[in-house]
Amino acid sequence: MQIPRMSLVTLGVADLDKATEFYAAVLGTAPNRTYEGVTFIELPGSWISLYPRANLAKEISPELPLTGHGFSGITLAHNARSKEEVVAIIGQASSAGARVVKEPAETFWGGFSGYFTDLDGYYWEVAWGPMFDFAENGELRFKDTA
């Protein structure tokens, strides 16, 4: 039996080249463009794929509408190692063309976070939390409290 996990998040994008450049600038990770028509961004634990929105909708169902309106109820998150890193990442995203929705600030849950939207309107939270730590390979984990 396979262990359950999320291994890949696919974002339907309006312009694959622009989205690829945006994510390379924000994440500082070289995108993998080995396969025509799709970009993979290989991150510890889970990858992001960028795929033309029209192609993604057609693949799911020919009747699927291409656009939605408003907040979908989903955010993507990047957990940082410090408050300063949160501020730096939000600044990096803004410089790459993101719209900062909420400037980094203290949170009700004891952390520090801010929000931006990417070029296609996907919401990202960049957060630091005192309860989180990272494995050597960069994967997020809870701090050992024992």
pLDDT value of position 94: 97
pLDDT value of position 146: 59
Q: Domain tally for the chain? A: 1
**The residue to which tokens 């961004």 are assigned:** 41
What does the pLDDT average to over 90-117?
A: 95
**Domain presence at residue 122:** yes
3-class state of residue 43 by DSSP:
coil
pLDDT value of position 59: 78
**Domain presence at residue 47:** yes
**Domain presence at residue 65:** no
- The pTM for the full model equals 0.84
Alpha-carbon distance values, 15 to 20, 54, 92, 96, 133 (Å): 9, 10, 20, 15, 35
The yes-or-no verdict on residue 92 having pLDDT over 90 is yes
Angstrom distance (rounded) from CA 54 to CA 50: 12
**Percent of the chain surpassing pLDDT 90:** 66
**Domain presence at residue 20:** yes
pLDDT value of position 145: 66
CATH code, domain with 51: 3.10.180.10
Is the distance from CB of 2 to CB of 42 less than 8 angstroms? no
**Domain presence at residue 67:** no
Residue pLDDT, tens place only, 5-61: 778 899 999 999 999 999 999 999 999 999 999 999 998 888 999 999 888 888 778
Q: Which range marks the domain in which residue 121 is found?
A: 8-60+74-142
